[in-house]
Amino acid sequence: MDITPQHVDLRKALQQMLLAHQILHEHQRPCQSQLSLPHAWTLMALLEHPSLTISSLTDHLQIDRSNVSRLCIRMEKNGELVRTPDPSDKRITCVELTPKGKEIAESLLRASDQHFLSICARLRPHTEQIIDALKALTAAINDASGEGREGAT
């Protein structure tokens, strides 16, 4: 493939969007949380899905299983979640929020809602088009990532 101005512009635009959203800022996120993104997203995933296996949480977050396991151990030590064996298969670990974890997750969700309400207000009347474009971009990234994985095997 040839290098084109369009693909360079796309890369720069995506980088700028991520930087604007403070994705790389280690100690402060736009939703006023000092939690890492995987930590915050785990809390919010468990708020949406009250009980998940480590494997399903790994799939949901799309990060390495060992990282998810270590994160869950830290979150359990912090009193944010509990890990229990699956009743039907003791080899499988399920995770659920504690009342403390649920409170943190609900606070994150409220802050996130306010953050994205503010963004949507600035995007009107183009909000739906931008959401559709982001969905298409995500699908294209996933397709391209799949091609890279297939080529590596």
Pick the CATH number of 35-152 from 1.25.40.10, 1.10.10.10, 3.40.640.10, 2.60.120.10: 1.10.10.10
81-86, strands of its sheet edge to edge? 52-53, 89-97, 81-86
The reply to whether the predicted model has a pTM over 0.85 is: no
Confidence class for position 153, pLDDT limits 50, 70, 90: very low
The residues, any chain, with a CB within 8 Å of residue 144's CB and separated by 6 or more, are: none
Domain spans, the chain: 35-152
Instruction: Give me the chain's average pLDDT, please.
Output: 85
Does 27 have pLDDT greater than 60?
A: no
pLDDT in tens, 104-135: 999 999 988 888 898 899 999 999 999 999 99
